């Protein structure tokens, strides 16, 4: 049989009741608190604190704070009146049992209503997320179609311009060839007239003239052949682009081994795909791409639909658990939803994958330290949070935002120590 706690204390105002129940020699985590509008119970074996309240309270807005071996209740009254006593008087065992049973039924009904409301809210969130995704996909599809149409029109115009230029060039060359042939024919005709005129001057001249005429004809025919050879091509230029290094650092600061290891890990992460999961076989091809899912999660995060974004990152991680940005982005969602322990786990996993530390992953490492430090601070673990902020400052000492936040955390720690 449990031992009834008698050494409690209580105070009241017109709007609230404050009850302090001691927990001597009992682990705080083992305390079981149950509260309805007319009944309050705290069970921490082997002790039991039970009170049948004098008047009804608002159990939804009432609070209980556990700490320093004590439970402090803040109960808000439904009516602004002063109570004569904390517990209602003249209650026998049968009446107590009825009040207990009624309180349990009320708690069960409220829990059922809360579950149904949560399920309805989840359905609405899923419906909204689906509509948002459909709108985003429709906008992306229209955008791609517009880009394709613009590129097609541009390519068509360039092709027509090139054809026009080619036709003009061919026409110009043809006119030049015709002019050259016409000039050569004119020269040959003039030479023939000269030879014919010389053949009339005498026999000796007549004997030599045909030979000279034939030689001249051969000379001009050879010249015609030489002139018919096409001209050399126009002078042009060739543009050469050299492939840049992925990590442009000076030789004395080079981290070639670390950079190559990081690039190798990134390549392995892109190749590591787990598509043998039975429930993932019916997905579309783009839905099996972790990068596509990461972009989808980023868009959902931008619309503050954090639950849907987490679902997208979860599926991407199931397909490929080697990409650090998936864990880093999911940690940001958990921070928004106050899932602080999960945010710490995801940030730690991202830091584990962001190795070796090189310039290419410095920004991601800063974000991981800051998000984990933020989660620690929201859990009131300020020393651990300060360690993460200082680690981020070692990567980028000139980051003013991180410097200011680290200084605020130091002030909180110093103030806590002064208070203690």
Mean pLDDT by 10 residues, the chain (420 residues): 77 86 70 80 78 82 79 85 78 74 80 88 90 91 91 90 90 90 86 74 50 50 57 73 58 65 73 61 71 91 93 89 92 94 94 86 93 94 93 93 93 66
Residue 223 belongs to what H/E stretch?
helix 203-227
Residues 6+ apart with CB under 8 A from 47: 2, 3, 4, 5, 23, 26
Is residue 87 a contact partner of residue 17, using CB atoms and an 8 Å limit?
no
CA–CA separation, 312 and 323 (whole Å): 14
User: What is the model's pLDDT at position 278?
Assistant: 57
What pTM was estimated for this model as a whole? 0.40
Q: According to the CATH classification, is domain 3-91 in 2.60.40.790?
A: yes
Q: 139: which 2 tokens?
A: 């906008």
CATH number of 256-274+282-419: 1.25.40.10
How many percent of the chain have pLDDT more than 90? Answer: 30
* Domain-wise residue ranges, the chain: 3-91, 112-222, 256-274+282-419
Strand-by-strand arrangement of the 16-22 sheet: 9-12, 16-22, 70-77, 57-67
Helix (H, G, I), strand (E, B) or coil at 379: coil
Q: What is the DSSP letter of 322?
A: T
Is residue 296 a contact partner of residue 265, using CB atoms and an 8 Å limit?
no
pLDDT digits (tens, 9 = 90+) for 216-237: 555 555 555 555 666 676 777 7
Cα–Cα–Cα angle for 27, 29, 35, rounded to 5 degrees: 115
User: What is the model's pLDDT at position 399?
Assistant: 92
Residues, the chain, total? 420
CA–CA separation, 45 and 64 (whole Å): 18
User: What is the model's pLDDT at position 418?
Assistant: 43
Parallel, antiparallel or unpaired: strands 9-12 and 16-22: antiparallel
Nearest Cα to Cα of residue 362 among 270, 258, 264: 258
* Residue 355 preceded by cis peptide, ω within 30: no
Q: 371: which 2 tokens?
A: 């998000």
CA–CA separation, 62 and 103 (whole Å): 16
């Amino acid at each position: 049989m449990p031992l009834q706690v008698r050494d409690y204390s209580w105070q009241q105002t017109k709007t609230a009741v404050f009850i302090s129940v001691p927990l001597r020699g009992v682990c705080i985590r083992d305390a079981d608190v149950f509260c309805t509008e007319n009944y309050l119970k705290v069970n921490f074996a082997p002790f039991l604190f039970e009170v049948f309240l004098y008047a009804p309270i608002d159990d939804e807005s009432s609070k209980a704070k556990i700490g320093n071996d004590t439970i402090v209740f803040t109960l808000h009254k439904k009516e602004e009146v002063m109570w004569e006593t904390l517990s209602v008087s003249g209650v026998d065992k049968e009446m107590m049992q009825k009040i207990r049973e009624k309180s349990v039924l009320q708690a069960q009904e409220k829990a059922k209503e809360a579950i149904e409301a949560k399920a309805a809210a989840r359905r609405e969130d899923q419906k909204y997320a689906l509509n948002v995704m459909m709108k985003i996909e429709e906008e992306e599809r229209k955008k791609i179609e517009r880009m394709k149409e613009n590129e097609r029109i541009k390519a068509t115009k360039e092709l027509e311009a090139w054809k026009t230029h080619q036709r003009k060039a061919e026409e110009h060359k043809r006119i030049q060839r015709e002019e050259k042939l016409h000039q050569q024919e004119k020269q040959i005709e003039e030479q023939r007239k000269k030879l014919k005129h010389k053949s009339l001057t005498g026999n000796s001249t007549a004997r030599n003239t045909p030979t000279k005429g034939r030689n001249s004809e051969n000379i001009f025919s050879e010249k015609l052949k030489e002139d018919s050879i096409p001209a050399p091509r126009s002078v042009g230029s060739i543009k050469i682009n050299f492939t840049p290094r992925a990590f442009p650092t000076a030789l004395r600061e080079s981290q070639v081994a670390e950079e190559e290891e990081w690039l190798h890990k990134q390549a392995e992460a892109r190749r590591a795909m787990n598509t043998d999961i039975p429930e993932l076989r019916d997905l579309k091809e783009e839905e099996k791409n972790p990068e596509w899912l990461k972009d989808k999660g980023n868009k959902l995060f931008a619309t503050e639909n954090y639950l849907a974004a987490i679902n997208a990152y979860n599926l991407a991680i199931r397909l490929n658990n080697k990409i650090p940005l998936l864990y880093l982005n999911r940690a940001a969602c958990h921070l928004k939803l106050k899932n602080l322990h999960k945010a710490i786990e995801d940030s730690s996993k991202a830091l584990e994958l962001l190795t070796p530390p090189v310039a290419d992953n410095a920004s991601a490492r800063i974000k991981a330290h800051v998000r984990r430090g933020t989660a620690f601070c929201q859990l009131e673990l300020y020393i651990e949070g300060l360690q993460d902020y200082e680690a981020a400052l070692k990567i980028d000492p000139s980051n003013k935002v991180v410097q200011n936040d680290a200084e605020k955390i130091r002030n909180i720690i110093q103030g806590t120590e002064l208070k203690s």
